Amino acid sequence: MTDTVNEAVLPYRDATLPIDERVEDLLGRMELADKVGMLFHTMAAFAELDEGNPTFGLPSISSMVRKRRMSHFNLLGAAPGGREFAAWHNALQRMALDTPLGIPITLSTDPRHSFSDNPLTSLMAGPFSQWPETLGFAALGSPERLERFADIARQEYLAVGLRVALHPQIDLATEPRWSRIAGTFGEDADLTSRLVVGYIRGFQGEELGADSVATMVKHFPGGGPQLDGEDPHFAWGKEQVYPGDARDYHLRPFIAAIGAGATQMMPYYGQPVGTDWEEVGFGFNKGVLTDLLRDELGFEGIVCTDWGLLTDVVVFGADMPARAWGVEDLTRPQRMVKALDAGIDQFGGELCTEELLGLVERGEVSEDRLDVSVRRLLREKFRLGLFENPFVDEESAESVVGRPDFVAEGLDAQSDSLTLLTNNTVDGGSPILPLARGVKVYAEGVAAEALAAYATVVESPEEADVAILRIKAPFEDRDRGGFSDLFHSGSLEFPAEEHARLAAIATAVPTVIDIYLDRPAVLGGLEEAAHAVLADYGASDEAVLRVLFGERGPQGALPFDLPRSDAAVAASRTDVAFDTENPTFRFGHGLRY
């Protein structure tokens, strides 16, 4: 800490004073550049503090803190273990505290406890305990069990200094082709509303405090009804539509989240079409953010845009235009003004602090307007106890992150969330599942060393007593380049050649199919060809094999309908739940043994 800050006399450092008094004292000491820096929340890589990230075109976190006065960062990547993670965090906080006002850093993260590795939406678990995707908790349907997961994730986040969860994602999966369904709680608004309460309680406690991780709920007002299931990260997916006039259905989980104490909210990129809202992306939409979210629903917390609404960038070698849908013709400063007027408090994924400085200096944005948002942001830092306890215990972090009992609970949740869709008899006898130990198994998508603990592994279906096929829900390989290749979009039907190959194996030998549902799949008769079909929502080989061989029974129920065909999906209404005709399996289906 430099001598310019005397902690003994400055009111904002006095923990005995009311938070609002501390906020006003610090606000009065901040230069314009400090206030501007608070309104930016971008990515930072786990790397040396003076090292940039060329993949995302990011400067070093050191330069963003010192030159741009930023203090909110979304952390990419992870250390190999809790101790290294905590040490990096502490070094970052020491640097931040060695600035004139010593404002501590708030670190946020996308989900990092599951299986998805799309860096625009979530991260691999790394050193943390590993659990099913949120769809798996929807399959379990227990707010109490979800709260337990959230509490464990909170402990692991807290141990390494991650204080804002850029989740939960409570969009509703009413468009089965949408690529973001894996991060949701499925199709049903009532189930999602019950689950989000447990999720927020697990991360935040009864109220936000020094032991909390704040939740940034997304994507207001519900990002599920995407035209043709395309995603608004990309220009071809920018339109959000409501042919069934079901906007209120998509709001229900957000109303529940606000009631549960959510302190932050992220609007999605989508541009509403054919409604009474202005046809601009939600981050620029005053009717959505001010009239609806703040005035009608009473939300008083932080509104942070989704990432990259202002600036065109190049990522993974491909152009990625700003997601400024409906305002593409505005300049970057004009987009900034419109978003501020709409009611946002932070620009996610942006670095252009100089643009906002210029707007204030030219009188196009008032400093009083900045103060409205800075107050909210400072209040959150104070409520989280960052000024009193900016550092974490490195030794404790080593023991908390990936704690064996946390890992065991995560494995149990993976197994329990599995959903048994069919379980037919073999030659008129007993159902195929659970399998007997020692059988001869031909397997695809299963590690041989994991399977060898349960069965004899053979090389062909003809040698086998049973086949186990672990597959993924189908999607179109569009090869558009950049990040778009990480988003599973398009047809839900298996390509004809792959469908025939799987059916041939099922004809040759009694077959068990385990399918990873990151979105609904059209099984196309595989449910009849195979003797058993199991759905998973992120599960390791060990988690699946424990269920297949009867060590643990499947407890999941489908969190959405499985449609009969692509044609049925195309004929359904994008915003209406359970609207595809004659689905193969309905929401809530799940067998037991």
Q: From CA 80, how far away is CA 99, in angstroms rounded?
A: 29
Angle at 189 between CA 186 and CA 194, to 5 degrees: 95
CA angle, residues 399, 405, 407, in degrees to nearest 5: 90
Query: Distance between CA 536 and CA 551 in Å, rounded?
Result: 17
CA–CA separation, 401 and 82 (whole Å):
5
3-state SS of the chain: helix, strand, coil percent to 5? 35, 15, 45
The half-sphere exposure of 427 on its side-chain side, counting CA atoms within 13 A, is 4
Helix 19-29 to helix 367-383 angle (10° resolution) is 130
Written as six digits, the tokens of 290 are 């001010």
Facing residues of 215 across strands?
165
Tell me the two tokens of residue 456: 């004899």
Sign of the dihedral through C-alpha 291, 352, 379, 86: positive
Tokens of 225: 């009804």
Q: 109 has which bridge partners?
A: 165
CA geometry: angle at 281 spanning 213 and 194, to 5°? Answer: 40
Query: Which helix (H) or strand (E) element contains residue 86?
Result: helix 82-97
Strands 532-536 and 419-423: antiparallel
Residues with a known catalytic role: 306
Q: Cα separation of 220 and 115, whole Å?
A: 24
Residue 287 and residue 278 in contact, taking contact as beta carbons nearer than 8 Å:
yes
